[in-house]
């Protein structure tokens, strides 16, 4: 029980570090190939648009929370009108 409660924060910390160091992971839809095959035609993967990479979910959360924090703490400058 004690070991399990210790493992969860460790895994979360590891995932957070992974998201900070390597924000992009392989696309799950095309498994990192960037192509989609359907009925003998080869097309670029729609999810990653052929980029083969996608932004990790943890990184997206980090970016969103950072954006919200920035918008919320930005000093309010009243517009000067002549
Ligand atoms: Zn893809």
User: pLDDT of 32-41, one tens digit each?
Assistant: 888 888 788 8
Cα 26 to averaged position of ligand 1 atoms, centre (Å): 8
CA 72-77-80 angle, to 5 degrees, is: 150
pLDDT value at residue 10: 92
Cα 25 to averaged position of ligand 1 atoms, centre (Å): 11
For a pLDDT cut of 90, what percent of the chain falls above it?
A: 18
Average pLDDT over residues 73-77: 75
Cα 41 to averaged position of ligand 1 atoms, centre (Å): 16
**pTM of the predicted structure, to 2 decimals:** 0.63
pLDDT value at residue 34: 86
Domain ranges of the chain: 21-71
Q: Give per-residue pLDDT as tens, 14-54.
A: 988 888 888 889 998 888 888 888 788 888 898 888 889 99
Cα 17 to averaged position of ligand 1 atoms, centre (Å): 24
Question: Which residue, 24, 52, 54, is CA-closest to 36?
Answer: 52
Cα 52 to averaged position of ligand 1 atoms, centre (Å): 5
């Amino acid at each position: 029980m004690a070991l399990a409660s210790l493992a969860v924060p460790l895994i979360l910390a590891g995932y957070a570090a992974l998201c900070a160091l390597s924000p992009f992971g392989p696309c799950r839809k095309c498994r990192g190939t960037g192509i989609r095959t359907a009925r003998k035609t080869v097309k670029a993967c729609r999810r990653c648009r052929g980029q083969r990479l996608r932004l990790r979910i943890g990184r997206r959360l980090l970016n969103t929370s950072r954006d919200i924090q920035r918008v919320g703490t930005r000093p309010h400058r009243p517009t000067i009108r002549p």
